[in-house]
Amino acid sequence: MMHARVLPAVDELTEALDLLRPQLDRTISVAERAHNFWAITVAVRGCAAADVLAEDLTSLARDTGLMEDLHGGAEDVTHLVTWGLLDRNPFC
């Protein structure tokens, strides 16, 4: 009987968000961070189900201070996530 080596599970979404988190650094203007957040949403939309993506992206926005810095707060974050998941550009 052959035994297969079990590889650790890879959470692509977590890895991607960790890699992209510096694009939301507070030293970057809030306008640029909003664009970056939308682009991050578009980039990771195939990594998990939409509800998981929305939850993790909202947590990312909260953790990086983007939600606090946006004039519309959570509503703006929801808007950016929704448009990003649809691959639609809200900045046009």
pLDDT at 4 over 80: no
Q: Burial of 60 by CB count in 10 Å (0-12 exposed, 13-18 middle, 19+ buried)?
A: buried
DSSP assigned state of 44:
H
Q: Where are the domains of the chain?
A: 12-85
Q: Residue 82 and residue 86: Cα distance in Å, rounded?
A: 6
> What per-residue confidence (pLDDT) applies to 46?
92
pTM score of the predicted model = 0.88
Nearest to 70 by CA among 86, 58, 82: 58
**How many other CB atoms are there within 10 angstroms of residue 27's CB atom?**
6
pLDDT digits (tens, 9 = 90+) for 14-65: 999 999 999 999 999 999 999 999 999 999 999 999 999 999 999 999 999 9
